[in-house]
Structure 1
Amino acid sequence: MFDASGNRRLNRRNLLAAAAMAVLAGCTVVPKAPVSGPAPAPTPAPSQSDIPVDTERHRVALLVPVTGVNAGVGQAIANAANMALLDTSAKNLRVTTYDTSAGAAEATRKAIADGNQLILGPLLSDDIPTVSGVARAAKIPVISFSNDEQAASRDVLIMGNLPGQSVTRTVQYARAQGISTFGALVPRGDYGDRTSAALLAAVRSGGGSVVALEPYERSAASIASAAQRVKAKGGFEALLIADSGSLSVRAATAFKGTSKTPGVRLLGTELWSGERDVNASAALAGAWYSTVSDQRFAQFSKSYRARFGGQPFRIATLGYDAVLLTLRVARDWKPGTRFPADTLRDTKAFPGGFLGVDGAFRFTKGGLIERALEVREVGAGATKVVSPAPVKFGE
């Protein structure tokens, strides 16, 4: 995944704090993986497996950090994956967790030596080139929990929530309400680039126009200054603020009670989901944003707490849904054979997509996840759903 602050690489020690803050709408802020440069050097052959041969169950590897600074997030994903096996009473699937903290390459080699035919993970997009480089040589597909779109390939599918889809869904809803002119405040860096690209594409395809766009450095002072600049330009009916709730509040105050831009509808991204600052701010009242549905998350959290004694990170649902996805494919997957990854990209194979804790989802031909999102409106101390997420995809 990539950093909403716009930095090319987020310090890993910040992942836990970011994930807690970005309990965020099912999308946590995780470092961006390098996408260019020389190919990974050849790796040694996998070591001999310590796990006995298993001909009755599918072997699936879960690659996440379970030690080190990101252990909390990784363990939550692993717990959720185990919970999915328990909830479904799955007898034909064996999921083994491998710790990427000590080295993603060694974890991948060990997973392959153990006979796993599918890799779920890694969590950090920094690890994707290493994991995919080792897995590709063994023809083992990877379904990563990252949201780094550039890491998708024939061998790597991206399962993390994509911010561009949130922006597109919100714009489509706004256009349906008669809004045609848009402005935007976007942070410098990858996150800002991708949200602004999604905004421009969605607005233009809907017949609207983006009349003002102001970049800023990710700080309270910079976003407040950018808000004043974009307000001075005016001429837009809706303004996208592509940042976390706390910084979005800073920008929103510039539009509260102004006569320069009457009736401006504020728009947010998936980063707003789960943030107390969003619902606590009068300046954001009436704002719209899109995210995955929380309809099933309450029950998921209750079950998780009963089994593991703590509140799960919001991103833990990716582990649960990844196992549900694998079980669905396993109906036509013979144990010991290669995982049929190409069928995940085939909408005819799964016309309605898949259903998980976070709602309906499927993969595009390019290997990116496509999610059914709901649109929420910020109210006084709470949000309400103004456009429910579709329950499945059409063919």
Structure 2
Amino acid sequence: MFGNVKRLVTVGLGSVLLGACSVIPGGDDGMADRGPVADAPPVAGPSADMLPDDTGRHRVALLVPMSGANGDVGLAIANATTMALLDTGAENLRITTYDTSGGAGAAASRAIGDGNRLILGPLMRDNVGDVLGQARPSDVPVITFSNDTTVARNDVFVMGHVPEQSVARAVNFAIDQGARNFAVLAPRGDYGERTLTATERAVNARGTRVVGIERYDRTNTGIASAADRLAERGGFDTVLIAENGRLSAIAAPRLKEAGASLPSILGTELWSRETELTRVPALRGAWFAAVPDARYRQFADSYQSRFGEEPYRIATLGYDAVLLTLRLTRDWRPGRALDTALLTDSEGFLGLDGSFRFRDNGVGERAFEVRQIGNGAFTVVDPAAQGF
């Protein structure tokens, strides 16, 4: 399955950068975890008559919220795209930011009218339909930062970190270590449904079993009671907690005694930046899967030096979207429609978040690493594949 991977740019990460869980409202749980806002005003898309005739440049639209509930996240993504343009010295791209806060459909309409041939965004899955309604008639592909694969199409490509893939990676790793009987602690709502379904699918594919499921409302007492019910039922050697760090820390001691080898505890990508988990004795030895983090620290340091604050973790998607676009320009002529076949190269691409590729149905597939929680630190116990 795995082989070579195409780099998005021809320089290494160090050269790119140096020279060249909170939940987002609307259903994309786990996409952002912390981050500040740079002191910069929102950027509005210009009118068509204000844009120069860039016959030698590719016009690309960035559609993100620049105000409102997710304005901080949108600004971080916009800042990251600016970083990527500066770091790579890209002279063949003109990326214009359009604020979706006043309506994603209106922003997309303006972007199409301005001659953009590719849309990066929107951030939220609920906005994809409005954007696609404007983009599809003009044959403009959409690369959304959402992590919801239900919005994927042959002209809508999902770039977010998909929770189901994180779950499948962790479950398969656990099975390789000897896990056979699984239990699931999942919240009510969309995220819980997605992670529960992913667990059942991965477990069944390997001939193992899900022997217990408990759902709960996302409160301290809700998860505590669900964990108690699961522990009383017993019969499992591995339990997946589909929750953020704070609530997982409440559940874990009710499922496993500190220092005990079983049951094994699994988490999801929501644990990626939750370093406080390393201070929970019952979680020592727990596993979870996330995109590789090795390049993120260098990116975050560079971002902070430029904007004065640490970025949201999701900001790397903005950076990688620019690198991906640059890779596409090798075979894409300015002013022409983008052939979506260029996006579905089976060998995939490499960005700050590791290897990824888009399938023909628009679903983004990523290589995840497995980390283990230790005393004060996360350790990579099974590295992400370097290519597809």
TM-score (norm. length: structure 1)? 0.86
Corresponding residue for residue 39 of structure 1:
none
Corresponding residue for residue 381 of structure 1:
376
CA displacement at 1:48 relative to structure 2: 4.7
CA distance in 2, matches of 1:302, 1:370: 27
Please list, as runs of the form range in 1=range in 2, the aligned pairs for 1:180-329 lying within 5 A after superposition.
180-257=180-257, 263-329=262-328
Note if contact 1:22-1:275 (Cα within 8 Å) is conserved in structure 2.
Answer: no
Describe the shift of the 1:132–1:84 C-alpha distance in structure 2 as closer, same or farther (beyond 3 A). Answer: same
Q: Which amino acid aligns with 2:272?
A: S
Note if contact 2:183-2:212 (Cα within 8 Å) is conserved in structure 1.
Answer: yes
Give the SS at the match of 1:184: strand
Note if contact 2:151-2:158 (Cα within 8 Å) is conserved in structure 1.
Answer: yes
CA distance in 2, matches of 1:257, 1:298: 33
Q: Which amino acid aligns with 2:255?
A: F
CA distance in 2, matches of 1:19, 1:332: 31
Q: Which amino acid aligns with 1:82?
A: T
CA distance in 1, matches of 2:184, 2:68: 38
Describe the shift of the 1:204–1:67 C-alpha distance in structure 2 as closer, same or farther (beyond 3 A). Answer: same
Task: Select between 141-150 and 278-287 the one with higher mean Cα deviation.
Answer: 278-287
Q: Between Structure 1 and Structure 2, how many residues are aligned? A: 358
CA displacement at 1:61 relative to structure 2: 0.3
CA displacement at 1:68 relative to structure 2: 2.8
Structure 1 runs (4+) deviating above 6 angstroms are: none
Note if contact 1:22-1:273 (Cα within 8 Å) is conserved in structure 2.
Answer: no
Note if contact 1:4-1:243 (Cα within 8 Å) is conserved in structure 2.
Answer: no
CA displacement at 1:256 relative to structure 2: 3.3
Note if contact 2:267-2:287 (Cα within 8 Å) is conserved in structure 1.
Answer: yes
Corresponding residue for residue 112 of structure 1:
112
Q: Is 2:161 aligned against 1:170?
A: no
Q: Is 2:58 aligned against 1:21?
A: no
CA distance in 1, matches of 2:179, 2:50: 61
Give the SS at the match of 2:314: helix
Give the SS at the match of 1:230: helix
Task: Select between 166-175 and 261-270 the one with higher mean Cα deviation.
Answer: 261-270
Please list, as runs of the form range in 1=range in 2, the aligned pairs for 1:145-164 lying within 5 A after superposition.
145-164=145-164
Give the SS at the match of 2:341: helix
Describe the shift of the 1:97–1:258 C-alpha distance in structure 2 as closer, same or farther (beyond 3 A). Answer: closer
CA displacement at 1:213 relative to structure 2: 1.1
Q: Which amino acid aligns with 1:21?
A: D
CA distance in 1, matches of 2:326, 2:354: 16
CA displacement at 1:300 relative to structure 2: 0.5
Corresponding residue for residue 58 of structure 2:
58
CA displacement at 1:22 relative to structure 2: 6.3
CA displacement at 1:224 relative to structure 2: 0.9
Give the SS at the match of 2:311: coil
CA distance in 1, matches of 2:267, 2:66: 32
- 1:248-278: CA deviations, max 9, x gaps? 111111023289x971000000001111331
CA distance in 2, matches of 1:287, 1:340: 43
CA distance in 1, matches of 2:31, 2:168: 23
Q: Which amino acid aligns with 1:198?
A: A
CA distance in 1, matches of 2:33, 2:295: 20
Q: Is 2:370 aligned against 1:358?
A: no
Note if contact 2:245-2:277 (Cα within 8 Å) is conserved in structure 1.
Answer: yes
User: Identity of aligned pairs, percent?
Assistant: 52
- 1:317-344: CA deviations, max 9, x gaps? 0000011111111101011101122332
Give the SS at the match of 1:289: strand
Describe the shift of the 1:18–1:206 C-alpha distance in structure 2 as closer, same or farther (beyond 3 A). Answer: closer
CA distance in 1, matches of 2:22, 2:239: 18
CA displacement at 1:116 relative to structure 2: 0.5
Give the SS at the match of 2:257: coil
TM-score (norm. length: structure 2)? 0.87
RMSD, aligned α-carbons = 2.4
Corresponding residue for residue 71 of structure 1:
71
Note if contact 2:31-2:147 (Cα within 8 Å) is conserved in structure 1.
Answer: no
CA displacement at 1:49 relative to structure 2: 4.0
Structure 2: where are the runs of 5+ without partners? Answer: 1-20, 36-45
2:367 to 372, 383, 386: 372
CA distance in 2, matches of 1:267, 1:168: 11
